[in-house]
Structure 1
Amino acid sequence: MTIPAIKPTQRGQAMVEVVVMTGVIIALFLGVWYLGKFHDIQASTIQAARYAAWERTVHTPATLSNTTLENQTRARIFTWNQNAFFAADSKSGTQAWGQQSRMWRNHSDSASKLLIKDPAAVTVTTPATAGKLPGNAAGAITNIVSKVSGVLGAITGGQALEADGLYTSEVSVALNAAALPTTKPADFNFAPLVLKEKSALVTDSWDADGAPQTALRTRSFAPASAFQRVNTILAPITWALSWIEPAFKDFKPGQICPDIVPNDRVGNGILPVYRGPASGVSRCY
C-alpha cells in the first residue's frame, strides 16, 4: 500500500491557522474585558442621569445650583459612599475620588490608572427651567388648565397650576485615555471614548409641597374660596347667628382644610377623625 505524499503547499497550514485565530481570540478577550468595564460605568451613568433629573423636580437652580448638583452627583454615584448621604457630599475638579470600584481601573496598574481619572471627567447638565410636556394634546390641555387656574386663582386667591412639567438631564463621562490599553489590535480603538446618558421625568401639576400649597392649588378650582377674602367681615355676623344656630360657629366659607377629615366621612367609629395636630395649630387655609 502506497501512502500519498503530502503536497508542499499544505505544509505549515495548521500553524498559520493557529496564529490567525490567536490574534482573533486575543482581540475578543481584550474587547470583552473592557466592554464589561465600560458597561459597568455606563450603568452608573444612567443612574446619575436619573438622579439629576429627579433632583431638578424638587430643587430649582436657585435653591440647588448646577455646580452643586454636579458635584453631589459625582460624589454620590461615582464613589463608594458607605454612609448616609450628607448635604456636604461633593467632588469637584481634580479632587481624589477616594474609594472606587475596581472595575473602573486598568488592572495592569490598578493603583493609578483610573478609567474615570478625576471628578472633572463627569459633567452633569440640566435645563434652567422645566420644559413643555411632549405631545400636542398634552401641551394644549396643560396650557388651558394653567390659564383657567390662573384666572380663577386671581379671583379666589389660589395658585395657578404649572404648565411645564418636563425635567431632563444629561450626564457625560469621559474615559481616561491613559488607562485604556495601548497594545491592542487596530480594530479596537477605545480612545477617545465618552459615555453619555439622558433622562427625563414628567411631573404632575397638582403635586404640592405640603398642606398650605395643597390648599392654594385647590382654591383655584373652588369658587366658594372667594369668600375667604371677606371672612373677617363675616366673622361678627356668624358670631351673632351662632346664638340662634350653634353650627354657625364653624361657618367659614371658602376655608380649605386639607388634613382634616369631616365626621360624616369617617364617623360611626369606623375610622378616627383627624382634626389637626394635638397642639391646636390651625391646618386650615
Structure 2
Amino acid sequence: MERDCRGQAMAEFVVMTAGCLLLLFVLVPVVAKLSDMSYKAQELARYTAWERTVWYNSFGASDTLPSQIDTKDGYLAIRSDADILNSAEQRLMPFEATTRSFSATDIDQPTASNKLWRWTHSGQSMTAAGSAAANSSLKNEKTPSLAYDVLGVYNDVMGTVNKALKVISFGKGDDDFLQIAHPTHNFYKTAVDIPVPLTNGQFGGKPLLGDAFANQLNIRANSAVLADGWVAQSEEHFREKTDDFVLGTLIQENPLWGVVRSVIGIFEPSFKDVNFAPVNTKPMPDKEVNCNVTTGFCYFK
C-alpha cells in the first residue's frame, strides 16, 4: 500500500500548480488592470463632463450659448468636444508619475507614448493612445425641466414686447431687455468608452478571456452635468450676465430707462435720482486696505 501511494502528493501539487496557481498568476494582474481601467473610465467621464462648467461649446445648436454672447469680441472661452476629450486622455491616462501640467498641447491628439496600462502578452498594450477620445462622446441636450419650457415661452412673449420698446426708444433699447438670456441646451452627458484589444491575449492557444472577448473588450462609464460655462470667462462676459439676470442692472443700464427717467424727471425732478442699484462686476483692485476691528469692515485706501 505504501508503494501504491508513493508520488500522490507530487501529482496533486502539479495539478494544483498548473490548474489553479498559474491561472491565478495570470488572471490577478489582468483583473487588477481591468478594475483600474474601470475606475479611470469613471474619472474620465466626470472630468469631461465637469469641463463643460468651464468652457462653452464651440459647435452645436445656436441656443447652446446665451443670446447676448458675441464670439467675435473674443471674451468667450470656448472648447470643442474633441478638445475636451483629448485633454482628458492626455492628462489622466499617461504612463507618468505626475499629472501633466496644462500647456498648449493639452488638447492635441494623444500620442503613442500616452499609455497608462501595459498588456503583458506578446508586448501588446491594454489600450492604444487616443482610443478613449476617439470612442467617447460629449453631447449636450435640452435641459430636462419644465422651468426651461416656461422660460422659452416667456422669452418669446417678452421678445415681441421688446421690439415695440425699441421702436419707442428709436432703436436704442437693449436686445436682451426683459429677456432671461439663459442657454436651454446646457445639460451635458458624457459617455466614455475605452477599447481594450485582447486579440493576442491567449493562454494555451485559446483566447485568455474566452471567445466572447477574443476581439475586443470595452470599458464604459457615463456622467452628466448641468453646465453654464461661467468659470473661465472674462469680466465682460459676467457683465453681460448681470445685464440679463439682475433686475436692477437690467433696468438701470438700459437706454430705454434713461429716456423714461428723463421724461418723468421733467415733471418730478427727484425722479432723476432713482437708482435700482446695478451690480458692479469689476474685479477688486489690488490695493492696500484699512480694516475696522470693531465693525469688521475693510475699505480700500
Q: 1:211 touches 1:259 (CA, 8 Å); kept in 2?
A: yes
Alpha-carbon distance in structure 2 between the residues aligned to 1:90 and 1:202: 23
Cα displacement (A) at 1:229: 1.6
Partner of residue 251, structure 1: 274
Alpha-carbon distance in structure 2 between the residues aligned to 1:172 and 1:223: 45
Cα displacement (A) at 1:270: 4.6
2:130 equivalent to 1:113: no
Alpha-carbon distance in structure 1 between the residues aligned to 2:249 and 2:143: 27
2:65 equivalent to 1:32: no
For structure 2, the 5+ residue unaligned runs are 60-77, 163-176, 283-293
Alpha-carbon distance in structure 1 between the residues aligned to 2:31 and 2:15: 23
Cα displacement (A) at 1:32: 1.1
For structure 1, the 5+ residue unaligned runs are 134-138, 261-267, 279-285
Q: Which amino acid aligns with 2:240?
A: P
Larger Rg: 1
Partner of residue 130, structure 1: 141
Q: 1:91 touches 1:97 (CA, 8 Å); kept in 2?
A: no
Partner of residue 242, structure 2: 214
Q: 1:238 touches 1:251 (CA, 8 Å); kept in 2?
A: no
Alpha-carbon distance in structure 1 between the residues aligned to 2:281 and 2:192: 40
Alpha-carbon distance in structure 1 between the residues aligned to 2:228 and 2:12: 63
The one of 56, 65, 74 equivalent to 1:59 is 56
Q: Which amino acid aligns with 2:278?
A: I
Alpha-carbon distance in structure 1 between the residues aligned to 2:197 and 2:189: 26
Q: Which has the higher contact order (CA 8 A, sep 6+)?
A: 2
- Go from structure 1 to structure 2 and tell me whether the alpha carbon gap of 1:120 and 1:108 turns closer, same or farther (over 3 Å shift): closer
Alpha-carbon distance in structure 1 between the residues aligned to 2:230 and 2:34: 40
- Go from structure 1 to structure 2 and tell me whether the alpha carbon gap of 1:40 and 1:70 turns closer, same or farther (over 3 Å shift): same
Cα displacement (A) at 1:52: 1.6
Alpha-carbon distance in structure 1 between the residues aligned to 2:142 and 2:102: 29
- Alignment RMSD: 4.3
Q: Which amino acid aligns with 1:105?
A: R
- Go from structure 1 to structure 2 and tell me whether the alpha carbon gap of 1:249 and 1:86 turns closer, same or farther (over 3 Å shift): farther
Partner of residue 178, structure 2: 157
Alpha-carbon distance in structure 2 between the residues aligned to 1:45 and 1:176: 16
Cα displacement (A) at 1:85: 0.9
Alpha-carbon distance in structure 1 between the residues aligned to 2:200 and 2:275: 71
Cα displacement (A) at 1:198: 1.0
2:100 equivalent to 1:74: no
- Go from structure 1 to structure 2 and tell me whether the alpha carbon gap of 1:121 and 1:158 turns closer, same or farther (over 3 Å shift): closer
Q: Which amino acid aligns with 1:124?
A: S
- Go from structure 1 to structure 2 and tell me whether the alpha carbon gap of 1:45 and 1:148 turns closer, same or farther (over 3 Å shift): same
Alpha-carbon distance in structure 2 between the residues aligned to 1:90 and 1:178: 30
Identity of aligned residues (%): 21
Q: 1:165 touches 1:203 (CA, 8 Å); kept in 2?
A: yes
2:188 equivalent to 1:167: yes
Q: 1:163 touches 1:205 (CA, 8 Å); kept in 2?
A: no
Alpha-carbon distance in structure 2 between the residues aligned to 1:37 and 1:117: 14
Alpha-carbon distance in structure 1 between the residues aligned to 2:230 and 2:245: 7
Alpha-carbon distance in structure 1 between the residues aligned to 2:281 and 2:132: 47
The one of 153, 163, 167 equivalent to 1:147 is 153
Give the structure with the larger strand fraction: 2
Partner of residue 102, structure 2: 85
- Go from structure 1 to structure 2 and tell me whether the alpha carbon gap of 1:176 and 1:185 turns closer, same or farther (over 3 Å shift): closer
**TM-score, with length taken from structure 2:** 0.62
Q: Which amino acid aligns with 1:85?
A: F
